[in-house]
Amino acid sequence: MQIDKTTYNDLSVFSQEEEFSVFHKINFTRTNGGKEWLRWMMKEPSGDIKKIKDTQTIIRLVITHLDHWPSVITNGTMTMIDRFYDSRIDPIPSSKDFLSTRLYKTFHSSDYGLIRFSVTHFRDFISGLHQIAMIIDSPEAPAKLQSFASRIRSLLQHSQLEEILQKKKGEKFSVKENLYFGFYFLAGFKSRYEELADIFYQLDAWYSMATAVQKYQLTFPEFVESGEPYIKADKIFHILLREPVAYDIQLSPSSNFLFLTGANMAGKSTFIKSLGIAVYLAHLGMGVPAKHLELSLFDGVLSNINVEDNIIKGESYFFNEVQRIKNTILTINNGKKWLVLIDELFKGTNVQDAMRCSLAVINGLIRIKSSLFVLSTHLYEIGEEINEHSNISFKYFETNINNDKLEFTYQLKDGISNDRLGYFILKSEKVVEMLEKL
């Protein structure tokens, strides 16, 4: 499934302020390598239903074992082992006799210290992988997970590795044992370690996804095998909000264009992003923030939410809005299934011009039946001129004024909003009063 950089930014999947991103919300990895694998996975939403369902199965399996998922492999473990291999350690004696080991400890004390710490971490790494192999080796597991279990077992089949597993966590190694195992790890385990580490990092990313599904009570979506675009969401919500409001929405070829109105801060942008994030997560194989979600496979998600001007290039806000719409038309006019999210068209020009431009765009996009559209606007008057289209539906977010205070219900209702609250907000924030005193 295609998602461009602008859409990733609009949906806050990744962000420079990482703590405000979907990635950060889902990231429960325990290692830096796992975090990078998670980032890579989240950049690869799939349009292959088998791959999506395999990922769902993997995450479900991991969820059932979260309480027993080994915690001995930490980022410190992996960092220490990497440091062991990156360091220029003086040759370790292959002999285990008393004199050789004592001489090495005495005359190569700094290297011995690194070996001593590393051997403990190697033991934790091998022990953790051994436990994981038993967990993921399930008849119900997808082929990739079974192959990982088989490969882990194969790579751990070695006499020294079997010996080190006999040492329990917390049990100290003797000088002789440290050098004995250190010699093996330095001379004969590096290539095995690199492959095992890569496998573990992928498993760490799936562990992270499983943890997120359980923690946020996400539900796995149901994909409808259809050549036409379709979404039916019950109680969908925005995953980044602490106290989100849930919405119900349905889009299909007979009603593939949602015209969304409402006052500023009423919830339009949040709703649009909620839908985009849910569809995106579904194509990762993740659970989604909704009570229930049915959808078709989509070929891509495309958004037009946070358009910016470009002072360096001398491009105005309006020019970049036009370029984004142009790019959208060129991208989706291919007969494939797209979810297109547009928040506040043509904010960079005057009202009359914006209405004329918006009408032209809507009357054009609405002819594309292979995609689904959600478009929000303050230009409520447009609704009367597009009401003739049978495949357009009208929803709005309600706003009430109670005791001179705005109340946002965040409820999605049928129809078109007629709220005109700009001056009221200006007045309620004392701006009018301040201006009168100038």
Q: Which of 277, 113, 86, 116 is nearest to 194 (CA)?
A: 86
Residue 153 lies in a domain: yes
Buried b / exposed e over 224-241, threshold 16 CB at 10 Å, is eeeeebbbbbeebbbbbe
DSSP-derived letter for residue 377 is -
Assess whether 416 and 317 both reside in one domain. yes
For residue 429, what pLDDT band results from cuts at 50, 70 and 90?
A: low
List, in sequence order, every residue forming a beta bridge with 397; answer none if it has no partner.
262, 412
Q: Mean pLDDT lowest for which of 88-92, 251-255, 312-316, 357-361?
A: 312-316
CATH number reported for the structural domain that contains residue 298 in this entry: 3.40.50.300
Domain final residue pick, 215, 240, 275: 215
Q: Mean pLDDT lowest for which of 87-101, 103-117, 354-368?
A: 87-101
Assess whether 187 and 226 both reside in one domain. no
Assess whether 204 and 277 both reside in one domain. no
Q: Is the pLDDT of residue 421 over 70?
A: no
Residue 371 lies in a domain: yes
Assess whether 172 and 46 both reside in one domain. yes
Q: Is the pLDDT of residue 267 over 90?
A: no
CA angle 119, 121, 124 (to 5 degrees): 115
Assess whether 206 and 227 both reside in one domain. no
Assess whether 301 and 405 both reside in one domain. yes
Domain final residue pick, 187, 215, 243: 215
Residue 7 lies in a domain: no
- What share of the chain in percent tops pLDDT 90? 67
List, in sequence order, every residue forming a beta bridge with 223; answer none if it has no partner.
295
Q: What is the pLDDT of residue 72?
A: 94
Quick check: 407 and 401 in contact, CB under 8 A? yes
Q: Phi then psi for 257, rounded to 5 degrees?
A: -130, 115
The count of other CB atoms within 10 Å of the CB of residue 286 is 26
Residue 16 lies in a domain: no
User: Structural domain of residue 116, as residue ranges?
Assistant: 31-215
Q: Which two tokens mark 378?
A: 């303050």
Assess whether 117 and 254 both reside in one domain. no
Residue 25 lies in a domain: no
Assess whether 193 and 296 both reside in one domain. no
Domain final residue pick, 215, 241, 269: 215
Name 71's Cβ contacts closer than 8 Å, sequence gap at least 6: 30, 128
For residue 247, what pLDDT band results from cuts at 50, 70 and 90?
A: very high
For residue 312, what pLDDT band results from cuts at 50, 70 and 90?
A: very low
Sign, CA dihedral 406-407-410-416, equals negative
Assess whether 272 and 207 both reside in one domain. no
Assess whether 408 and 295 both reside in one domain. yes
- What share of the chain in percent tops pLDDT 70? 94
Q: What is the dihedral of CA 39, 41, 42, 43, to 10 degrees?
A: 90
Over residues 101-119, the mean pLDDT reads 91
Residue 22 lies in a domain: no
Assess whether 314 and 390 both reside in one domain. yes
Residue 274 lies in a domain: yes
CA separation for the pair 236, 278 (Å, rounded): 8
Q: Is the pLDDT of residue 409 over 80?
A: no
Assess whether 303 and 356 both reside in one domain. yes
Domain count, the chain: 2
Residue 1 lies in a domain: no
